[in-house]
Chain A
Amino acid sequence: MTVPMTSRSQAASDYVLRVENLGKVYGGAVALRDVSLAIRRGSIHGLLGENGAGKSTLVGIMSGQRQPTTGTIYLDGVALGHADVPSMEEAGVFLVTQEPMIIDHLSAAENLMLGIWPRRFGFVNWRKLRKDAARMLAGTGIDLDKPAGKLDAVARRKLNILRAMFSGGKIIILDEPTAALTVEDRKQLFDFMRRLKADGVTFIFISHYNDEILDICDSVSVLRDGVLAGGSEDVGSLTSAQLSELVLGRGLVLFQRERRSFADDAPAVELRDIVGPSVRVPALDLRPGEVVGFTGLPGAGAKELARCIFGLTPVQSGTIRFADGSETQKLPSHPRDAFESGIAFLSDDRRRDGAIGQMSIGANISLSSLSAVANAGFLSKEAELKLSDRYFAAMDIKAPSAEVAVDTLSGGNQQKVCLGRVLATGPRVLILDEPTRGIDVGVKQDVLRIVDDLSRTGVAVIIVSTDTDEITRAVDRVCIFENGTIARELTGSEITNDRLRGLEPA
C-alpha cells in the first residue's frame, strides 16, 4: 500500500502540501476520517464546512498543533514523520487563528516582528524594526507605535495575518480571516493575498461565505462531519448553490427572523442628545419587541454608541427615557446602574470581557443578578440555584451540570453562559455586541433564536454586528453608522446582504 503512495507523491511535486488518509480521534469521537487532499503551489485553496465539520482539526494537523491518529502529511512530496509547530513554521507553514495571538502591551510594530527582530551585534535594531514595520503597515491604517491592546479586533486580526507573512510563511492557513472585516478591509486583504500569491505564497483559506470562496480561491475542498464531502481543482466551474449543497449535506435550517415594521408603534425607549468620544447621536427610538441592527465601519460609532448606552464609556451628554412613564434620566455611568434600569449588554471580546473562567456556570449566570438572589447581602442558595438552573436549561448549554467551571466549555457555550447572565437580569433593552463572532454555525442559530424569542416578550434588542449575514437574518431595522452618527436606516425588504456589503446601492 505504501508503494503507490510514494510514486504518486513524487509525480505530483507541483503540490506543495498533501495529506493522505488523515484521521483524528478524540477520546471516542472521530473528528476527521480518511481525508486526502492536495494543495497546489502558489494557489489559494478554500476550505469550507460547518463548524465542527473538522476544518479546525485538519488545519491543526497541517500546522503541527495536533498529531493525526492516522495518515501522513507530505511537504514538497516528502512524507513528514512527526510534525510539531516549530518544525512546520520552519518549513513555512503558518496558521493564523481567529483569536489573535498578540501581546497587548507591545506596540503594533513590535508584535509584527515578535521573534524575528532585526538584529545588529546581538541587539534589536530598533530603527530597522520601525522602518520595516512602517512599510508593512502602510495603507493598513494601523499605527505602528500604538500598543496592540488598544487596537480594535479588526486591526488585531490584520496584524496577525501580516505577522505570519512577515515571518517567512510560504503556506499560510487563514482561519476565517474575514469574520468581522468590512467590505473595504476584505477587499484590501484579498488584494494583498493576490499579490503574495503572485510571489509564490500558497494560502489555505477557511470561510463560511460562498461568495468569498468563489471570489478569491483557485481550488476548494469541502468537509462535512469529518470526511471530505467534495471539492474541485477549478472553483470557476462551481456555483454558489453547488457549494452550499456540499457544505450542508442534510441541510441545516438557517434562522431567519420574520421582519416586522414597528414604525407605527410607540417607542419603549427614547435616547436623546448622546455625545461621547467619537459618538454624536441626536435621537434614537427603540420600540418594544423590535430588533435593531447597528453596523458600520470600525470606529464609525456603532460599537461606541452601544458602550455609551450601557455606561461603559463615559458620555458628555445623553439621556434615556423609558415609556413606562418614568422620567428622563442621564445615561448610566456604570454597568451596575445600567442593569438596574433594565439595560443589559454582552461584550464582543469574550476572552477579555466574557465569563469568569474559573467560576462555575451557575455562579456566572447569577453574577449580574446577585442582589435579586440575596437577603441583606447573604446569598440564598435556593434562589440562586433556581435562577441559574433556569437559564442553564433555557440557553441549552452543553455541559454535565451548572457546577462545571466555565473555562472547560467551548467558545459557543461560554457565549451562551454570558447570554444567560445578561438575560437573567430581566432586561428591557438588550444590547449584543457581535454576539456570534467565532462561534459555530449551530450555536449561532441557537443564539439568534433565543434573541428572537426574547423580542417577542417585548424586549427591545440592539445587535451590533459587522457580519452582514447575521444582520439580515436577525433584525427588523438596521442603523448604518458613519462618522459617529447614524447615516442611514434600512427596514423590511431593504435589508439585504448585498446592500449591507455595499455591493448594491441603497
Chain B
Amino acid sequence: MSRTMTAAAKTASPAGTAPTAKEGGRSVLGWVLHNVVWIWLIALVVIFGLFNQFFFTVNNMQNIMVQATVLGMLGLAVALPLLVAEIDLSLPANLGFSSAIGAMAYSDWGLPWFPGMLVGVGVATFIGFFNGLCITKLKMVSLIQTLSMMIILQGALLALTQGRTITNLSDGYVWIGQATIGGWPVMPFIFVIALVGVGILLSNTVFGRRVYAVGGNPVASNSAGIRVDRVKILTYTLAGFLAGCAGFLLASWQMAITSNQGSSYLLYAIAAPIIGGVSVFGGRGNVIGVLGGVLLLTIIQVGLAIISVPSFYVGIIGGVMIFIAVAIDAIRVRYFS
C-alpha cells in the first residue's frame, strides 16, 4: 500500500509545478541553439571589433559584404542539390571555367562583353543541366559524377588559359565588380537579389515545394505524382546558372581570371549552407540559413585578417571556429529535435 502511495506521489510531482520552469529553460536553450549561427556571428563581430576598432567601420562592413557575394552565390547554388539529397562538387570549378569561356568569347571571338558574359553563364547553366541528366537518367552517383566533372572543368580551365591569368577584360565587364552607388558597392545587391529570388522560389512556388518533398522522400514523392527526375535536373540547372553568375561577379571584382579561378571556394561553398542548417540528407534548410553560414565564414576570414593574426595561424583558428559552430548545431539536433 505504502509503495503505491510513493509511486503515485512520484508521478504527481513532475506533473505539477516543476515542468513549467524546466520547459521554459529548455525552450530558451533551444532557441539559443537554434539560432547559434547568428549568435556566434554577432559574438565574433564583437570580439573582432574589440581587437581592432577598424572592424566596426562602414568601410569594413562593405568589404565583408563584397567578399560574401561570391561565396553567397555559390552557397545558394550548392544548397539546391543538397535540398534534393544530392550534391554538386563541380560548382566552384564550373564558376572558374564558365567565366573563362565568357571572357574568351569577348577577347578571342570578338563578341561584345555582354553577350560574351551571357555565353559564359549559359555554359555554366548547361553544365549544371548535364550533371542533372547524368545523375537522374544515367543514375550516376552525384558525389562521384560531380567530382569527376570538377576535375574535368579544372583541367579544362588550365588548358584554356595555358596557365596564364586572363586580364584583358572590358571596362563594361569589370564595372559591376567595382561600381558604387552613393558610396555603396553594387555587388552585394546582386547577392541580395539572388537570395530573395531563391527564397521565393523555395517557399512560395510549386517547384520549391516539390524540391523539399523530393529531398524528404523521393519514393513517396514519385507516388505523390512528382516527376522526381525533372525536379532534380532543374535544381542542378539552376545551381549551374548561379555558379555562372558567381563566376562573372568574381572575375569582374578581381578584374582577372586565374588558371585555377574558383577552386579555393570549394570547401567553403559546401560548408556555408551546411553550417546554415541545410541538411546533407535533403529536404531541410532555407536561404536565411545559407546567408548565416556565408556571413559567418566571411567574417571569420576577414576578421582574422584584420586583427593581424599571423598567417601561419589563420587556418587553424578559422577551422576551430567553424568546428564550434557545427558542433553546437549537432548538439541542438541531438537534444532538441
Contacts and interface: CB of A to CB of B under 8 A. Distances in A.
A interface majority secondary structure? mixed
Interface of A: 1, 23, 25, 28, 69-70, 312, 334-336, 338-339, 345, 347, 352-359, 363, 367-368, 370-371, 374, 377-379, 421, 425
Interface of B: 3, 7, 11, 15, 204-207, 209-210, 212-213, 216-217, 219-227, 283-284
A115 to B, nearest CB: 25
19 contacts: A312-B222, A334-B227, A335-B223, A335-B225, A347-B223, A353-B220, A354-B217, A355-B217, A356-B217, A356-B224, A357-B216, A367-B221, A367-B224, A367-B226, A370-B209, A374-B205, A377-B205, A377-B206, A421-B224
Contact of A379 (B3, B206, B220, B222): B206
Contacts of A379: 204-206, 209
Instruction: Specify the main secondary structure of chain B where it touches its partner.
Output: helix
Nearest to A407: B216
B219 A353 contact: yes
A378 B212 contact: no
A108 to B, nearest CB: 21
Most buried by B among A70, A345, A356, A421: A356
A312 B206 contact: no
B11 A356 contact: no
A429 B7 CA distance: 55
Nearest to B12: A28
B213 A367 contact: yes
A37 B227 CA distance: 53
B213 A356 contact: yes
Contact of A336 (B213, B217, B220, B227): B227
B3 A1 contact: yes
Contacts of B11: 25, 69
A334 B226 CA distance: 9
A352 B219 contact: yes
Contacts, number: 79
Contact of A359 (B3, B206, B216, B226): B216
Contacts of B283: 356, 358-359
A31 to B, nearest CB: 13
B232 to A, nearest CB: 15
A356 B216 contact: yes
A377 B207 contact: yes
Contacts of B15: 28
Contacts of A352: 217, 219-220
Nearest to B3: A1
B220 A370 contact: no
Nearest to B208: A379
Given A353-B219, A358-B284, A363 B224 contact: no
A355 B220 contact: yes
B201 to A, nearest CB: 9
A367 B227 CA distance: 12
Contacts of B7: 23, 69-70
Q: Specify which of B11, B209, B220, B226 lies most central, judged by the most chain A CB atoms within 10 Å of its CB.
A: B220
Given A356-B283, A358-B284, A379-B204, A345 B223 contact: yes
Nearest to B214: A356
B207 A367 contact: no
Contacts of B212: 356, 359, 363
Most buried by B among A1, A359, A374: A359
A370 B213 CA distance: 12
Nearest to B203: A379
